[in-house]
A = this chain, B = another copy of it.
Amino acid sequence: MKLVKNAAGRYVPVEINGLKSEPFRGVGAYKPKGKKAAPKISSCMDYPEDGNKIVPDLKTALIKAGIRDGITISTHHHFRNGDFIANRIFDIAAELGIKNLRWFPSAAFECHAPNIRHLDSGVIHHIEGSLNGSLGEYCSQGRMRGLGVLRSHGGRYQAIQDGEVHIDIAVIAAPTADPFGNANGVNGPSACGGLGFALADSQYADKVIVVTDNLVPFPCVPWQIQGNYVDYVVVMDKIGDPSKIVSGTTEITRSPDRLYIAELVAKFIKTAGIMRNGFSFQAGAGGTALAFAVELAKLMRKENIKARFVRGGSTKFLVEMLKEGLTDYILDGQTFDLEGVKSMRDNPNHVHTSPFTSYNYHGKGNFASMVDVVVLGATEVDLSFNANVVTHSDGRLLHGIGGWQNCLFSKCVILALPSFRDRIPVIVDEVTTLVGPGELIDVVITERGIAINPIREDLIDAVKNSDLPLKSIEELHREVIRICGKPQKPLLGDKIVAAVKWVDGTVLDSVKQVLKAQWGIKLPGAE
């Protein structure tokens, strides 16, 4: 595999799974050429006049949609670890003797580990999409036939829109749908909130199959997925496990260190003058992020400050802020609990967004760069403020990128992190895998203090006279090394097992095979 050194100093392949790829050229340096992907023109003459696109089962739909060797099939992670559909697709493909499929999920979870047997047997050639847990481990072990390709939510939209990834068949699991294919995620027993991750697939795939366990008469309102893009509708008894789709409860961290980090983040945002009337913020659904949102809400209440919008992943904590009037809007790409689902269904100010509106870098702007402050996690951050979210320090690929890269365009990017985990430093001299270029990461907040990126002189000025525990990243790093010792380098082979894309489709870094001594989870079929 031919590698070149890209603008971030990382060696990346010039060809990925048989397609030429463009090395990363720097943030905002790669100008796309050419035109968007152009789907085939359809005609109503080929679709039922009564709008009824129901076929008996998923197998029939896949056959009608032209399932065959070597094509690309996409799925979506709206059901997270409760999805029943993706496994069913590849079981059917195996039954039909199909080989060499490219599986293009928006993300794969532990519930999809049974597909390892289809990877081993060659039904699935390789996966392009966020890989969590066992499938990430499988890729790390170098056992996947093709390269894993990791894209952000926005990068996935961009790749489809720009024609980098052509989807032959998109299968969209939908909590509610009508026979025409209009679908949403806010109603039905498997309600998950929005269906935005499937938007690009519906718009650009050759054939689109909607699978639901809650069929309603036309029209299914709202239509987050528009039936005018849909070819077939399949009704099943159960498309997912509701208890694993949304958690029902979202837990705030109880760790004193994490709670302290959350407080520091909120305090930093206030002190830096970011928390002012009409501001906006985004935080994820991790325990620290939730604690941060609660802390910030306290400060907002105290100072009588109101946000214009907050970005979801929503949870009951954001929903409460909306109800209380602490924000005008929640702009929400995915709901993380049942309160979020309910609020998106019932409150017109809890607005469903998509990777197109929020994250697509090859649009005429997107929402991410308008957010005043975003609070993110990472597996590692280094002395140049470069950060990693996909591999652990042992090199194992265990997480997807999600919207993380896209959020780096926020006006202030804060990484809220413990300085070490399980005595392994999180602050390192150089990240194992580069996922976020340091120039976009403004502040690192740990239990040991706050490091501001030196390029953000404005932020340094804004907080310099405060009582915030400011330190340099080097200081933080030295403290961590004093405690944990210098960590061992991961045991990596030379083989490239995955590529990390930047938001513009260029290749930011590559992920190397993890040598057997460091294999984590015992996977089926591994010697």
Give the B-binding residues of A (Cβ under 8 A): 28, 31-51, 53, 161-162, 180-181, 208, 217-219, 221-223, 226-231, 278, 308-309, 329, 331, 348-349, 351, 356-357, 360-367, 369-370, 409, 411, 504
Contacts and interface: CB of A to CB of B under 8 A. Distances in A.
A208 B308 CA distance: 26
A36 B357 CA distance: 22
A219 B331 contact: yes
Contact of A351 (B219, B229, B231, B365): B219
Given A41-B32, A348-B221, A366 B228 contact: yes
Given A218-B308, A364-B231, A504-B43, A180 B37 contact: no
Contact of A228 (B217, B219, B363): B363
Contacts of A409: 44, 49
A411 B48 CA distance: 12
Contact of A361 (B33, B43, B180, B226): B43
A357 B228 contact: yes
Contact of A31 (B43, B208, B331, B361): B43
Contact of A370 (B38, B50, B308, B361): B50
A118 B134 CA distance: 67
A356 B44 CA distance: 12
A217 B309 CA distance: 10
Most B CB contacts (10 A, CB to CB) among A208, A217, A365 go to A365
5 contacts: A28-B45, A32-B43, A35-B38, A208-B364, A228-B356
Contact of A41 (B162, B180, B181, B351): B162
B35 A39 contact: yes
A4 to B, nearest CB: 22
B39 A364 contact: no
Given A41-B32, A42-B363, A49 B369 contact: yes
Contacts of A365: 44, 47-48, 51, 53, 180, 227-228
A294 to B, nearest CB: 24
